[in-house]
Amino acid sequence: MAKGQLPPCDSTQAADILTGLWLGFVNLEIKLGVRPPLTDIEMEERVKQGIENLLKILKT
């Protein structure tokens, strides 16, 4: 935000949204034991996608 790359926003809310994007429904499936834990590659991809989606949300 200080560099003008992101619009002003509530950082706590943004962190909550990003965490939700990272966890998604897969987190519940893992906790319920209906799917195995994410691999390192799957986790990296979810982080990448979550950040990209958060940036899109903040820019709208």
DSSP character string of 4-60: SSS----HHHHHHHHHHHHHHHHHHHHHHTSSPPPPHHHHHHHHHHHHHHHHHHHH-
- Quote the pLDDT of residue 30: 94
**What pLDDT does 15 receive?**
85
Q: What is the pLDDT along the chain (60 residues), one digit of tens a residue?
A: 788 777 787 888 888 888 888 888 898 999 999 999 999 999 999 889 888 888 888 776
> Does residue 12 contact residue 48 with C-beta atoms inside 8 Å?
no
Distance CA(14)–CA(36), nearest Å, equals 28
